[in-house]
Amino acid sequence: MSDASSDRDENSLYRVLARKYRPTTFEDLVGQEALVRTLTNAIDTGRLAHAFILTGVRGVGKTTTARIIARALNCVGPDGEGGPTPAPCGVCDQCVAIAQDRHVDVIEMDAASRTGVADIRELIEGVRYRPVQARYKIYIIDEVHMLSNSAFNALLKTLEEPPEHVVFIFATTEIRKVPVTVLSRCQRFDLRRLTQDDLQGLFSGIAAKESVTVEEEALAMIGRAADGSARDGLSLLDQAIALGGGKEVLADQVQAMLGLADRARIFDLFAAVVRGKVPESLEILGDLYAAGADPAVVMQDLLELAHFLTRAKLVPATLEAPGQPETERLRGRELSERLSLASLARIWQMLLKGLGEVQTAPIPLQAAEMALIRLAYASDLPSPAELVQRLNGAATGGAAPGSAATGAGAGTAAGGSPAASEPAASAEPASPATAMSPPPMVSAERGLPVSDGAPQAALAQPLAHPLAEPAPYEDPEPQLQDQTPPVSVKPQPQSFAEAVALVRAQRETILANHLMDDVNLVRFEPGRIEICVRDAAPPNLASRFAAVLEQACDSRWIISISQEPGATTLREQEREEEAGKRAAVMQHPLVKSALEVFPEAELVARRDPQEVSAAAPAENENGEGEQDA
């Protein structure tokens, strides 16, 4: 009686879906067509390798594939007379024993717990003996990258020339940690991640076998969360079925289980952020957080949406892909058409940085809010090319589209800008001071001239966001008809010393010091400098020198390297000049008299008369130096 009840208890034990529906033949493997075709042909033709290595992310079927290979090589068929076959029968003693992990000739070793050379020596000792029951003795080593270097070295000779009755099958998630000497002795198979469609098809079939109804949206959520791993997805599906009572799995249940945000609300949050509506963005994020969404998951969803919109802008067929939800198709098209590629790239970078902050912040919600605020104010900044174009238009007097008042109105229409609109300056007759005022400032919002009457009001307006206006996001080209470019009036150095001084004025101190210490001038003429460079100079000195001069002078400069020795360096010239001046000071009668009275005195510093006269007014302004006067 007790034996019968124990058998009934064992049979009633629940097996998780990942174990219950583990593939037993090559046909059951999902998403690994290349591997299946290669191994099937190898078994049919008898071209079997003595060692295989299987790599891929967790849960794609590496150990399962190794067991299928072991069954395929040792299957004898229902009648006991069969040979190696790509379709194991599953009923012979060999197949049953391997499936139940009790076959004496199929040895599985976990390299994560048995990493030493002693374990490998024990394995090598067993290789010499022929199989007890099966056709081949199969050694399956899981997580083989965990073996020590000594263990790998001890295995090399046996792995290169094993007995004909031995087959090694290695599995690893870290193929880069496996020595090249081991890889070269094995046939390598890369098990790829399962696609979203493969996972949804697998989950749908298993749910039908379990007599459970699962909504399509719920399957899509589980497939995305599985990230290409069948085992991870089946574990989530198991959990979702338990949550639904074993009969029905709803999308809302899966969303709550995974801590995900509603896809439509993610679109709302994204649109509010790119419009600059900060209060609305924070309200949506607060609602998602109150509903159980993890701030880090919300940031990941925004990142995924930014990537989706970028792909939709570059490849419009993405929106029409089979199985694309209607929400993503319609709203994705609207957002991708209104946002420029530069804005999407900037949004991606800022979200990526924000995700890292959310994952490490002590209060993730606050970090997510700060990231969204930062994105709302900076996602629509003009690109460097646009900014230069606008500045050039203002400098040449070209009128940009619209007016300052229109730009301010655009900032108000964004709906979420903290800056309030200020009244326009009253129209008054221009005074002489106004007539002689410098050129108008340029608004950072739309590249519009800002009058002197109300510069702060216009500059205080936030950036106009692309979705706040019905017009397309891209700004029209500024109208520059009948405008001639301004003639450059920047100073042009007339000597090498002036060119170096100009480099120092551009705050390129390190480059200027190299030009002073490590460069000998060979030839100088305006627009062209020929130099001899010493070994201590950086390799890109000439190109950097030319670039700085071109930027400072607004003209092209050619810097060429010569093998001629050239003149002494500017630093050496300074030292020679200083030494001559010090020698002249030492010959001064007053200095000679002082040295006669104080023979041990030394000349510590020397000051030119020009420096003294230049320093005197500054001292007088501070109330010093009146006694000398």
Fold of 196-258: Helicase, Ruva Protein; domain 3 (1.10.8)
In this structure, what token pair is assigned to residue 198? 């493969």
Measured distance CA(197)–CA(31) in Å, rounded:
10
In this structure, what token pair is assigned to residue 25? 């033949």
Domain locations in the chain as residue ranges: 13-190, 196-258, 263-378, 490-629
Fold of 13-190: Rossmann fold (3.40.50)
Residues with Cβ within 8 Å of 381's Cβ and at least 6 positions away in sequence, in order, are: 346, 463
User: What is the DSSP secondary structure assignment for residue 556, as one 8-state letter?
Assistant: -
Residues paired with 107 in a beta bridge: 139
Q: Are 554 and 489 in contact (CB under 8 A)?
A: no
Sign for the CA dihedral angle at 564, 569, 573, 576 comes to negative
pLDDT tens digits for range 424-474: 333 334 433 333 344 444 333 333 344 444 434 333 444 444 444 444 444
Measured distance CA(248)–CA(213) in Å, rounded:
5
C-alpha distances (whole Å) from 70 to each of 135, 156, 184, 461 are 10, 22, 22, 71
pLDDT tens digits for range 9-27: 445 578 888 888 888 888 8
Q: What is the CATH number of domain 263-378?
A: 1.20.272.10
Which residue, 21, 29, 179, 25, is CA-closest to 95?
25
In this structure, what token pair is assigned to residue 361? 């912040």
- On the CB side of 139, CA atoms within 13 Å amount to 25
pLDDT band at 354 (very low <50, low <70, confident <90, very high): very high
Does the pTM of the predicted model rise above 0.85? Answer: no
pLDDT tens digits for range 175-189: 899 999 999 999 999
pLDDT tens digits for range 500-550: 888 888 888 888 888 888 888 888 888 888 888 888 888 888 888 888 888
Question: What percentage of the chain exceeds 90 in pLDDT?
Answer: 13
In this structure, what token pair is assigned to residue 339? 């946002």
Measured distance CA(235)–CA(8) in Å, rounded:
26
Measured distance CA(155)–CA(48) in Å, rounded:
20
